[in-house]
Structure formats: C-alpha cells, structure tokens
Amino acid sequence: MQYSEEVYDSSQRPHPFIEEFLSLLKYRELVYQFTARTITARYKRSVIGVAWTILNPLATMIVLTLVFSQIFRFKVEYYPVYVLSGLMAWNFFSHTTSSAMGEMIWSGGLLNRIYVPKSVFAVSAIGTGLVNLGLSFIPLLLITIVLGVKITPALLVIPFSVLLLSIFALGVGLLLATAAVFFADMIPVYEVLLTIWFYATPIIYPVDILPKQLLWLFALNPMLYLVQIFRDPLYLGVVPSWQVWAIAAGFSLAAFLVGGLVFTSKSNEYAYRI
Amino acid sequence: MSTLTASESTALQQSTLRAEPVIRFENVAVLYRVPRERVSGIKEYTVRWLQRRLKYEEFWALRDISFDVARGEIFGVIGRNGAGKSTMLKVMARVLHPTKGRIVMRGKVAPLLELGAGFHPELTGRENIYLNSSLLGFSRKQVDRLFQSILDFAEIGDFIDSPLRTFSTGMVARLGFSVATCIRPDVLLVDEVLSVGDSSFQEKCLQRMNSYQQQGTTIVIVSHSMETIKSFCSRALLIDRGQTVALGDVNEVVQHYTG
C-alpha cells in the first residue's frame, strides 16, 4: 500500500484560515480519536463512570434549589428545570472553552514535532462537550417529567441552539488557546473571568431581578442570548423571537471569525512558543 | 498541453515527477521572534506594552539554506546543539513554515516520533494504535486494514488490550515505530533515534528502513553523532548557527566537521 502523491509547497499555501479548515477535514479521524480518548480516559479512572456526568448537574441543581427557594425567596416556577437547563448551556460553554485552551498547551510537545491541524484540540473539546451535554439531558428530562413541566414541540429547535453555542464556544476557545500560548497565566485568569461571567449571566437567578437602569449593560453579554435560546424551549416550551436568534447568531459568527482568524494567523509561532 | 492525449500527459507528469527532487530547499530562512525577557503574565505584558518596553529578540534559526534531496537518498544533517537541526526537521514536517524562501516536499512525510510521544497511558495498546495513527493522518479504514501487521511487527502479543502504562519502555518504543512505519512513506524523518528497544528489534527496524529506501523512500537523519551519519548516509549537510557550512558527499562533510 502506498500514499497518494501529495506535494507541499511552502510558497503556494492557501490563506491560513482555509488551509486549517481543509486540513481539519482531512484529519477528522483525529478529532474523533481525541474526543473518544478524553471520554474513555476520564471514565476509566472514575469508579462511577458515566453516572458522574449525570449526578454532577443533579447535585448542583439540588443545592441551588435549596439555597434559592429557602434563603433568597424569589419566585421562579419550576426552579429546578430553570436552573438545570441554564447550567447545561453554561457548563457546556465553560468546559469546552477551558479545555480548548488547556489541551492545546498540554499537547505542546506533540505540536513541536508532528504536523496536525492545531485547531484539532479546540474542535475535539467541542466534541467532548457535546457528548457530555447529551448525557446531561437524561437528568433534565427526568426532572421535567417528575415536576410536570410541559414538553412542547419547541424542543425541536434545541439542535440549532446547540449549534450556535458550539460555534460561539469554538471561537472563544480558539482565541483563548492563542492567548494561552503567549501568556502563561491565561488559564488561571480565565477561571476568574468565568466566575464573574457566570454571575453576570441569568443562570441561577431570573432575568427580572436585574436592575432596570443596568439592563443595557447585561444586554451586551452574548451568553444572555445563547442561554436563552437553549433554555426557553426546554423551560417555557416556547421558541424565542427571531430577534433573539439573530443576536445569538451574530455573536456566534463574530466570535468564530475573530477566533479563527487570530488563531490561524499566529499558528506558525506555536511550534517554538509552547 | 492540449495536443497531448491523456495517457501521454500522465506519462509526462510521471517522468517529471521521478526526475524532480523529493525535498527542495530554496534559500530557506526561519525567524524566531521571542520576547527578550521572559514576560509571562498578562499584567506584566500590558504594563510593558504601555511603557513601550516590550522588546523582541529576533533570531534567525536558519538562513539561506538551499539543497535538494533525490528519491531514495539517505541524507544526513549534522551540527552542534543549537545549530538549527531541529528547526530543519520542523520545517520539513510542516510544523513551522519558512519566513523566507521556499520548501517543496513531495509525497507523504512521516516523522519518527520520540518514545511514546502521542500515546496515552490510560488507553489500551489497541486504542493507542488508533490514536497514534490518526495523529499521522491515517483514516480509520487504513488502520483497520493495517492493524494486524502493526501488531505483528511490534511483537506485543497479549498486551494489546492492557493499558499502555503497563507496557515496558521497549514495548512502547516498538509500538511507536511499528505505527509510524506501517505504510511506506515517501520521506522518513529520523531524529537521533535508532535506539528502539533491544538489539534484535533494532535490527528489524533497520531492515524495514532499508527495504523502504530500496522502494524509493527518502530518509533524512538528523544527528550529532558522526558514526550514525557516516554509516547510513550518502550525502550530508553541515550547519552551524543556522547557516550552511558544508554540503555534499558524507565523508567530505564529516571531514569538514572534525577537521
């Protein structure tokens, strides 16, 4: 068996963004392998395995429900479903962006020696996130049914919500991965930012407790819309208005383009900087 | 070209292909741009940027390197530590792109990775074979087909379904070599290795490399050991501080280095 003849000519490279995209298509098996590796390696070491992915959001939800219904006493109907669906979208975003950055840095030794499309780490972080997100639908649907929240056909738009969330997370993840190559403290800094970002997004509290005069500030947060397009169909059983979709899509595409272009324009420096 | 029939033009293409070098460097230069002082944090970076104190060290890792390597040749690259040998391998492996000049590589380039690079300790030997070969750009179908031959060559037998952390160093090395060379590449990049496992396995590796070379694989060996270079290569390049010192017949180049 022989390879097909391929020619690499450094003077005839396409635009780095396109080159990266084509290369990623060619290395799709690697994306699958990285995703599978992360998932199997994680569950092999933990005793309760897959169950953990399901128990973790459940435990968080129970704690938050107790805290918010007993201490803060604001009224959100079916709060467990509200908080769990919001957490699912948020956790997907925070985990995929952090690991897009982390995997890239930890795999530095490999990137130094062998050619792989460097965005493969970010893309497979999204893949891993999607698997975990899929699993966390099990506890969500369970609670939805137990509490008697109505399940409506609005549910059918969830794949589009997840798509926009993924595009947004990929863009942010690529931007972070680039930054992390240049700044050693990017990983801890991002953890702090994530915590602030989490509390600035209506996930554990309802939108209407936000102060009226500060609403414009909160409206600048992309995650506000990305959480909404995910949560509304599950929690309220309605499809958000087209304006909300348009803003969410706008933020996703902008993040994707900025992240993708910055990442690919700097990719030549990764090999000696990591 | 339009007057040629399809078969004639393929024949023409093939003959030019054969005549053309597999590796061509034309005035290749690589520039590394690194901060002069280690500025690691974002805060420090911003402060320095505001004060315009951010200084970069520009460092040419390679300058004006030109050479051709023909099909089936074994080519050596010699130099002291820091001479630019690993940068040379990186640009050949497409890990880095040249800042100036042009590189043309024809066909599939396979780097021989260091011991266990690209393996995951928690995964089994089987899972690692799939992981590692996808790193080299193989499709799943290709690996399915080659799986048995990879296994046979690596001689790891029943361990195939145990986690990699239970393997001995020799076994990991054998598996790595077996995966990297399971398909004959057009260019094989070898970095200081050839210390794979025990001597009988080394013999087997050399045999495989020899047979590939006879079938047309070009091999590039990077080393600071004169013995290695002299015993394998026909031609060599000596570099120092990123520049060509000598290029040509291996004995002359080695002479230049030692003399």
Q: Cβ of A32 under 8 Å from any chain B Cβ?
A: yes
Mean predicted confidence (pLDDT) in B17-21: 68
Predicted pLDDT of residue A174:
96
Cβ-based neighbours of A106, under 8 Å, separated by 6 or more: none
Please state, as a whole number, how many other Cβ atoms lie within 10 Å of the Cβ of residue B236. 27
Spell out which residues of chain A touch residue B130, defining contact as CB-CB under 8 Å: 33
Q: Do A27 and B145 touch (CB under 8 A)?
A: no
Residue B56 has pLDDT above 50, yes or no: yes
Q: How distant is the Cα of A29 from the closest Cα of chain B, in angstroms?
A: 6
Find, in chain B, the residue whose alpha carbon is nearest to that of A5. B107
CB contact under 8 A, A7 and B122: no
Q: Does the pLDDT of residue A2 top 80, yes or no?
A: no
pLDDT of residue A257 exceeding 70, the answer is yes
Task: Look at A5 and B107 and tell me if their CB atoms are within 8 Å.
Answer: yes
Least confidently predicted of A194-203, A208-217, A231-240, B45-54: B45-54
Q: Report the pLDDT value the prediction gives residue A114, as an integer from 0 to 100.
A: 84
Query: Which residues of chain B have a CB within 8 Å of the CB of A188?
Result: none
> Under an 8 A CB cutoff, do B134 and A33 touch?
yes
Exposure of B90 in the CB half-sphere (CA atoms within 13 A): 25
Q: Which residue has the higher pLDDT, B136 or A170?
A: A170
Positive or negative, the CA dihedral A113, A117, A122, A125 is negative
From chain B, pick out residues whose CB is under 8 angstroms from the CB of A33.
130-131, 134-135
- Kindly report the number of other CB atoms within 10 A of residue B45's CB atom: 16
A192 touches chain B (CB under 8 A): no
CA-to-CA separations, B14 to B17, B18, B24, B69, B239, in angstroms, rounded: 5, 6, 18, 18, 33
Does A188 touch chain B if contact means CB atoms closer than 8 Å? no
**Statement: residue A74 has pLDDT above 80:** no
Q: How many cross-chain Cβ pairs, A to B, lie less than 8 Å apart?
A: 127
B41/A109 touch (CB, cutoff 8 Å), yes or no: no
Contact at CB, A185 and B42, closer than 8 angstroms: yes
Q: Do residues B222 and B190 touch, judged by C-beta distance below 8 A?
A: yes
Report the gap between the CA of B58 and the closest CA in chain A (Å): 13
Asked whether the predicted pLDDT for residue A1 surpasses 60, the reply is no
Query: Chain-wide mean pLDDT for chain A?
Result: 88
B210 close to B219: Cβ distance less than 8 angstroms: no
Residue whose tokens read 């975990």:
A132
Q: Does A196 touch chain B (CB under 8 A)?
A: no
Q: Return the top range by mean pLDDT from A57-66, A79-88, B169-178.
A: A79-88
Is residue B26 within 8 A of residue B66, CB to CB? The reply is yes
Q: Which ranges of chain B does DSSP label H, i.e. alpha helix?
A: 6-19, 42-50, 85-92, 125-135, 140-154, 169-180, 199-214, 226-232, 250-258
Identify the band that residue A198 occupies on the pLDDT scale cut at 50, 70 and 90. very high
DSSP string, B56-90: EEEEEEEEEEEEEE-TT-EEEEE--TTSSHHHHHH
- Give kind and range of the element (H or E) at residue B235: strand B235-240
pLDDT at position A199 over 60:
yes
Region of poorest pLDDT, from A40-44, B76-80, B156-160 = A40-44
User: In this predicted structure, what is the pLDDT of residue B114?
Assistant: 66
Q: Do B123 and A41 touch (CB under 8 A)?
A: yes
Question: What interface predicted TM-score (ipTM) does this complex get?
Answer: 0.78
Does the beta-carbon distance from A6 to B145 stay under 8 Å?
A: no
Q: A98-102, A183-187, B4-8: which range is least confident on average?
A: B4-8
- The DSSP H or E segment spanning A217 is helix A215-218
Contacts of B11 (CB under 8 A, 6+ apart): none
Specify the pLDDT at position B218: 94
Token pair, residue A121, equals 């780490």
CA-to-CA distance for B184 and B215, rounded, in angstroms?
9
For a pLDDT cut of 70, what percent of chain A falls above it?
94
Lowest-pLDDT choice from A2-6, A98-102, A110-114, B181-185: A2-6
Q: Tokens 């969500």 belong to which residue?
A: A140
Strand partners, B240: B243
Strand runs (DSSP E) across chain A, as ranges? Answer: 7-9
Mean of the pLDDT values across residues B27-50? 75
Does residue A33 register a pLDDT over 50?
A: yes
Cα–Cα–Cα angle for A208, A210, A215, rounded to 5 degrees:
105
Residue ranges of domains in chain B: 6-111+222-258
Predicted confidence at residue A82, as pLDDT, reads 92
Identify the burial level of A131 via C-beta atoms within 10 angstroms of its C-beta, where 0-12 means exposed, 13-18 middle and 19 or more buried: middle
Lowest mean pLDDT: which of A193-202, B37-46, B78-87, B248-257? B37-46
Share of chain B above pLDDT 90, in %: 33
Could you tell me which residue, A44 or A139, shows the higher pLDDT? A139
B237 vs chain A: nearest CA distance in angstroms? Answer: 21
Looking at the DSSP bridge assignments, the partners of residue B69 are B23
Is the CB of B90 less than 8 angstroms away from the CB of A113? yes
Q: What is the DSSP code string of A13-62?
A: ---HHHHHHHHHHHTHHHHHHHHHHHHHHHHHHSSSTTHHHHHHHHHHHH
Where is mean pLDDT largest: A47-56, A139-148, A156-165, A182-191?
Answer: A156-165
* Confidence category of residue B1, pLDDT binned at 50, 70, 90: very low
Nearest-Cα distance to chain A for B255, in Å, is 30
pLDDT at B171 exceeding the cut of 90: no
List of chain B residues whose C-beta atoms are within 8 Å of the C-beta of residue A45: 122
Q: Look at A82-96, A191-205, B38-52, B112-126 and tell me which has the smallest mean pLDDT.
A: B38-52
User: For residue range A37-58, what is the model confidence (pLDDT) as tens digits?
Assistant: 888 877 776 666 667 777 877 8
Between residues B9 and B186, the one the model is more confident about: B186
Q: Tell me which of A41 and B64 has the higher pLDDT.
A: B64
The confidence score (pLDDT) of residue B2 equals 45
Model pTM score: 0.86
Query: Which residues in chain A have their CB less than 8 angstroms from residue B146's CB?
Result: 1
Q: Residues A15-42: what's their mean pLDDT? A: 88
Question: Which residues in chain B have their CB less than 8 angstroms from residue A13's CB?
Answer: 97
Q: Which CATH architecture best describes the domain B6-111+222-258?
A: 3-Layer(aba) Sandwich (3.40)
Could you give the CA distance from residue B127 to residue B208 in angstroms, rounded to a whole number? 24
Which residue type occupies B16?
T
Cross-chain Cβ contact A3/B108 below 8 Å: yes
Binary contact (A114, B42; C-beta < 8 A): no
Pairing outcome for strands B218-223 and B187-191: parallel
